[in-house]
Amino acid sequence: MPTPKDKNQSGSTGQTAHRVRLPGFLVETEIGLGDAIKRATTYLGIKPCGDCQKRAEALNRFLVFTKERSK
């Protein structure tokens, strides 16, 4: 399983993901946008397809929700 630091790296360009701070009661740990969408769609009963994982990984590289302040 990738570490949060690995999840924030964006492909070969080395750019880090955009970080959005949410209140602590909404998120306990860092979660990527792709993982958040995957949780919501699974909860609604939508079964993931083969491309869903690739899409989730791409979205995770783009945006991460965190409860910590940016430095």
Q: What is the pTM of this model?
A: 0.65
The pLDDT tens digits of the residues spanning 10-21 come to 444 567 878 877
Question: Total structural domains in the chain?
Answer: 1
Question: Do the domain assignments include residue 50?
Answer: yes
Question: Do the domain assignments include residue 71?
Answer: no
Question: Do the domain assignments include residue 23?
Answer: yes
Question: Do the domain assignments include residue 24?
Answer: yes
Question: Do the domain assignments include residue 61?
Answer: yes
Whole-angstrom distance, CA of residue 5 vs CA of residue 64: 11
What local confidence, expressed as pLDDT, does residue 14 receive?
Answer: 65
Range of the domain at 9: 4-66
The pLDDT tens digits of the residues spanning 25-63 come to 666 788 888 998 999 999 999 988 889 999 999 999 998
**CA 40 centroid distance within chain:** 13
Question: Do the domain assignments include residue 43?
Answer: yes
Query: Are 2 and 45 a contacting pair, CB within 8 Å?
Result: no
- Contact residues for 33 (Cβ-Cβ < 8 A; gap 6+): 59, 60, 62, 63, 64, 65
